Amino acid sequence: MSKDRTLVLCVDRDDDIGFKAGIEGPIVGRDACLRAANALGLVDAEDSDVNALFETVRIFDELSGRGENVAIAVISGNHTNLLEGDRRIASSLDTILVETGAASCILVSDGAEDEYVLPIIQSRVPVSSVRRVVVSQMPNLEGTYYILKKLLDDPKVSRIVLVPLGLAMILYAAAYLLGYPEEATIVVVCVIGIYLLFKGLGIDEVFQYFVSSLQASLRGGRFTFVSYIAAILMVLVGVVMGFSSYLQYYTSSGLFFQLLAFIYGAITWFTASGLVASVGKIIDSFLNERVGVRRAIVLPFFVLAIGAIAYGASIYILSISDDVPRFPITSDMGVRYIIFLTIGGLLCAFFGVYLQSLLDRWVSDQKMVALEREV
């Protein structure tokens, strides 16, 4: 294949092609891309990805007519899990580059959402041009209403917008009916703030990835399904124990000391939850994919180290606080706790890293021995 081949690439990050038209990506070739555009257009003619697909074919035809060496392809992500979708896009692009032998890329997308994957594409092939396809709309009231209605009808958008608003309204009404009108506003603001924090930090995508991993473990009959369920139950117990500790050692000194009182009661169960989940991951890696053991072996040591240090810090600060007179540990014992638990946590983390390096060297030696035998 020629080294100057250009790939005309259309990116459908939210996988409307697969979700609506039932066509699995990646799609390579002009005829296949044109069939995908027609199929998506017949299902939902108002989808902006239809225009992006036809624009991709148009650019391909234009460059081909000039005599340039070009290839055409469409890659798609995941409709509900953008984290998993971006990984799928990266894997699909690697396959297409090997198949087409392209040395550069022209990216076609239907908006800014698809261009979030631009760094992923640029890490694998130079991007010589980006073509964003924008559909013109009449800026009148009816058009605005129709666009908003279409957005709210999309399950992905409705879950993001309508669910938190509905939950906040229900909590406000419940607090108001119970006779706490002032606290109702606080509860609503707190719920919305937690939701925005989860979205801003990307915790919701991590949670979705955890749920999808749990489903995959169940379908594959893996041990991690049992360990994850046990870990979730331990987390719930930890939350209950944390609130119990919070009520027992409640202090008016501030939110920081109240958080430490919660950690003091919950951190043991949280640590046990992390250990159970990580050990399940190690067992599955050992039974199914031995290469993944060296990446997972360090997890329980890090979990144990973080848990020990957090437990020692909570004990020390609560023991020296004058506002927690009922705390059973004296300040002298609190100093010993934080010193020994911190040292133990650091040693545990160091041992995990050392064990991982030993496994890496052992795997490298095994590969060298295998290569020498082949030679």
> What is the domain partition of the chain in residue ranges?
6-132, 221-363
pLDDT the model gives residue 40 = 86
Low-confidence ranges of the chain (pLDDT < 50): 1-2, 138-139, 141-142
Query: What was the pLDDT predicted at 343?
Result: 93
pTM value is: 0.49
pLDDT digits (tens, 9 = 90+) for 26-44: 889 999 989 988 988 888 8
Say how many C-beta atoms besides its own lie within 10 A of residue 47's C-beta: 20
Task: Using alpha carbons, select from 186, 192, 197, 152 the residue that is nearest to residue 168.
Answer: 192
Strand order in the sheet with 104-109: 27-28, 70-76, 6-12, 104-109, 127-132
- Return the bridge partners of 76, or none: 12
So what's the pLDDT on residue 271? 92
56-88 per-position pLDDT tens digit: 999 999 998 998 899 999 998 887 777 788 888
pLDDT on residue 255: 74
